[in-house]
């Protein structure tokens, strides 16, 4: 059953038993951005056979007490009047998607009886102050979206034990700290979390490597001006050094398909000391020792401070052009691209990222230069946006400093084995 409420001119006032004769209903979709369906006497019944329930602007404070849809796969209730989702004792074992965004009356969400959730969206649920500890029971949860949750103060520490990949906390302005995040995280957006002071570093989760062949991790903290910068640099180091480099794979097939990129962005106007060498401006050179490209080499870590002279927020790409030179004066250019950058007017940001590339064709180079520049669409800025830059070569010895050592990967093994020294 589907109803487009945007095509209804007058409000519909339905009886509380309206669905009682629809015991085999599997699909219910009331969509539209304005409530046109009302229940003056409440709603007594919804079919337990429902597999898909989409009801925009749901007008009641709770779902029917006897509603136990064991086959429900997706629950989508945009801008509902719900105060709580369901009571104790209800089980939703097949529920995969829970979308309650803009449910501004929602106070509490019980997640303990929906263990197979893969995606949760509670964006703009402005009265939710914390997530339940039971969220760690959601072992299959991949995406958690909480942007513009104005009252959110606590993300539970139990989140580190999950397999979460995407966490969106954009504009959660009361959030002061983040717990240890699982190593499975691929994208974290905590931009505009203006009260955020600390992100706990994931020492516990260093044993959670998946051995994935393609690794892209992005952590963005635009306009989080209270954040501890040293804490974020440590977060970046752990994520970079804890991801297996191309050289760790024995199989040539795995090496050829391997790609690793880890990036982070946060407010600041200084290059962290960990990057060496570093200099003012947008370019820097580095001498390369003979035999620099060997089994211990993990790649380059790049860092730049950028500040766009604009009066409005702007999205750009920050790129770095690498030029390798040989003893004979020959040169070869490789281009590497960072994560997409969303600047906040004139506020300077530190951008750091690491790529795992194949440099076998330039292994005889004796020097490499790095040129940073900002790019948007087909245009390149005037070059003054990059205020300073820094480089670091990464080796397996760097990983040992963080007690990430003795890693073994093979074509037969799907998981990385980590032994702490």
Tens digit of each residue's pLDDT (9 = 90 or more) over 152-164:
999 998 888 889 9
Query: What is the band of 407 on the pLDDT scale with cuts at 50, 70, 90?
Result: very low
Q: Which residues pair with 317 in a beta bridge?
A: 340, 375
Q: Which residue has the higher pLDDT, 152 or 381?
A: 152
Rounded CA-CA distance 355/393 in Å is 11
Query: What is the band of 21 on the pLDDT scale with cuts at 50, 70, 90?
Result: confident
Domain presence at residue 278: yes
Query: What is the band of 345 on the pLDDT scale with cuts at 50, 70, 90?
Result: low
Query: What is the band of 405 on the pLDDT scale with cuts at 50, 70, 90?
Result: very low
The per-residue pLDDT for 311 is 59
Domain presence at residue 116: no
Domain presence at residue 62: no
Mean pLDDT of 45-67: 93
Mean pLDDT of 190-203: 87
Domain presence at residue 24: no
- Determine which of 95-109, 182-196, 337-351 has the lowest per-residue pLDDT on average: 337-351
Mean pLDDT of 8-26: 90
The per-residue pLDDT for 7 is 86
Q: Of 18-27, 310-319, 340-349, where does the model show the most confidence? A: 18-27
pTM: 0.87
Rounded CA-CA distance 137/381 in Å is 48
The per-residue pLDDT for 134 is 83
Q: How do residues 74-118 score in pLDDT, each as one tens digit?
A: 999 999 999 988 766 678 899 999 999 999 999 988 888 889 999
Query: What is the band of 183 on the pLDDT scale with cuts at 50, 70, 90?
Result: confident
Q: Which residue has the higher pLDDT, 299 or 356?
A: 299
Print the domain residue range for 412: 209-421
SS3 232: helix
The per-residue pLDDT for 418 is 27
Rounded CA-CA distance 421/418 in Å is 9
Domain presence at residue 134: no
The per-residue pLDDT for 88 is 65
Domain presence at residue 35: no
346-349 contact pairs (CB < 8 A, 24+): 346/307, 346/308, 346/309, 346/310, 346/311, 347/223, 347/225, 347/267, 347/307, 348/267, 348/268, 348/269, 348/305, 348/306, 348/307, 348/387, 349/222, 349/265, 349/266, 349/267, 349/268, 349/305, 349/306, 349/307
**Whether the Cβ atoms of residue 389 and residue 307 lie closer than 8 Å to each other:** no
Q: How do residues 131-143 score in pLDDT, each as one tens digit?
A: 988 888 898 999 9
The per-residue pLDDT for 415 is 29
Pick from 229, 295, 323: nearest CA to 268: 229
164-167 contact pairs (CB < 8 A, 24+): 166/142
The per-residue pLDDT for 245 is 56
Task: Count how many domains the chain has.
Answer: 1
Query: Which token pair is 340?
Result: 């997409």
Q: Of 29-33, 67-71, 170-174, 262-266, where does the model show the most confidence? A: 170-174
Domain presence at residue 165: no
What percentage of the chain carries pLDDT values higher than 90? 47
Rounded CA-CA distance 411/390 in Å is 35
pLDDT at 174 over 50: yes
Pick from 305, 325, 319: nearest CA to 366: 325
Query: What is the band of 28 on the pLDDT scale with cuts at 50, 70, 90?
Result: very high
Q: Which residue has the higher pLDDT, 203 or 255?
A: 203
Average pLDDT along the chain:
83
Rounded CA-CA distance 68/85 in Å is 12
Q: Of 77-81, 240-244, 380-384, where does the model show the most confidence? A: 77-81
Rounded CA-CA distance 171/177 in Å is 13
Query: What is the band of 420 on the pLDDT scale with cuts at 50, 70, 90?
Result: very low
Domain presence at residue 34: no
228-231 contact pairs (CB < 8 A, 24+): 228/197, 228/198, 228/199, 229/266, 229/268, 229/272, 229/350, 230/272, 231/198, 231/199, 231/201
Rounded CA-CA distance 103/119 in Å is 16
Q: Which residue has the higher pLDDT, 123 or 252?
A: 123
The per-residue pLDDT for 160 is 86
């Amino acid at each position: 059953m589907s109803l487009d409420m945007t095509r209804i001119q007058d409000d519909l006032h339905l009886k509380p038993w309206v669905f009682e004769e629809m015991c085999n209903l599997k699909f219910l979709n009331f969509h539209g951005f304005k409530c046109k369906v009302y229940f003056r006497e409440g709603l007594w019944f919804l079919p337990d056979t429902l597999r898909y329930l989409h009801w925009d602007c749901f007008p009641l404070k709770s779902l029917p007490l006897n509603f136990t849809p064991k086959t429900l796969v997706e629950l989508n209730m945009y801008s509902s009047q719900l105060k709580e989702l369901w009571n104790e004792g209800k089980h939703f074992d097949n529920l995969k998607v829970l979308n309650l965004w803009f449910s501004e009356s929602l106070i509490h969400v019980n997640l303990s009886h929906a263990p197979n959730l893969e995606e949760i969206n509670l964006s703009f649920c402005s009265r939710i102050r914390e997530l339940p500890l039971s969220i760690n029971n959601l072992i299959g949860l991949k995406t958690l979206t909480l942007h513009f949750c104005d009252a959110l103060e606590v993300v539970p520490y139990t989140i580190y034990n999950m397999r979460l990949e995407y966490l969106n906390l954009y504009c959660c302005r009361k959030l002061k700290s983040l717990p240890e995040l699982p190593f499975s995280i691929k994208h974290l957006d905590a931009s505009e979390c203006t009260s955020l002071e600390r992100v706990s570093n994931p020492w516990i989760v260093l044993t959670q490597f998946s051995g994935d062949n393609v690794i892209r991790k992005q952590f963005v903290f635009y306009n989080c001006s209270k954040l501890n910068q040293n804490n974020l640099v440590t977060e970046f180091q752990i994520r970079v050094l804890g991801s297996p480099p191309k050289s760790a794979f024995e199989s040539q097939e795995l090496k050829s398909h391997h790609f690793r990129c880890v990036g982070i962005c946060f407010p600041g106007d200084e290059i962290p000391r960990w990057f060496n060498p570093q200099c003012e401006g947008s370019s820097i050179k580095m001498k390369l020792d003979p035999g620099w490209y060997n089994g211990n080499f993990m790649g380059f870590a790049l860092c730049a401070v950028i500040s766009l002279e604009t009066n409005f927020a702007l999205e750009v790409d920050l790129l770095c052009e690498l030029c390798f030179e040989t003893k004979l004066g020959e040169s070869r250019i490789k281009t590497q691209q960072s994560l997409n950058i969303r600047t906040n007017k004139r506020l300077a940001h530190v951008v750091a990222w690491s790529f795992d590339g194949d440099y076998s064709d330039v292994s005889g180079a004796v020097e490499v230069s790095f040129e940073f520049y900002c790019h948007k669409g087909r245009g390149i800025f005037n070059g003054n946006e990059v205020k300073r830059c820094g480089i670091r070569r990464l080796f397996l010895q760097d990983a040992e400093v963080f007690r990430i050592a003795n890693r073994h990967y093979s074509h037969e093994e799907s998981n990385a084995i980590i032994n702490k020294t």
